[in-house]
Amino acid sequence: MKALKIMTALVVFVSITNLTAQNNPLAGKWEAEYEENNEKSYVTYEFRNENGKLTCYTTYIKDDKGRGGEHESLAIKNVLFEGEKGKGTFIFAHEGKNYEVRANLKLRDGNTLIVSYSAWGYSDSETWKRSK
């Protein structure tokens, strides 16, 4: 009987965690477009609920000619999001090194996320669009 109660509690906990992940407005895949040296690239990101915490991964990178492939790497960690605003730690690579900077997240509408950050006197805002 005690094992049944523990199993029931575990099922309820997992169900609530999954429901929270599904109801999170950031959950799912997003795409951002970047341009450098007259070349465009597109990056797909995915917000996931891991151990009760929201985390964002880069999952796919392609160029404007459609060449590319899967690429799994951590993009934003320590995501805290409530309502339409949040923050996290944005991770990016530059000249072979990884850097972490504080990022602000703002959900403009259900399909547009603004990710803004500042590092070394340089500020940027990226517009991510929800992937279908």
Write the pLDDT tens digit of every residue in 92-105: 888 889 899 999 99
Is the pTM above the cut of 0.85? no
Do the Cβ atoms of 43 and 51 come closer than 8 Å?
A: no
Residue-averaged pLDDT of the chain: 84
Ordered structural domains, the chain, with CATH: 2-130 (2.40.128)
- DSSP H helices, the chain, are 2-23
User: Residue type for 95, please?
Assistant: E
d(CA 69, CA 59): 9
Task: Tell me the β-bridge partners of 47.
Answer: 28, 56
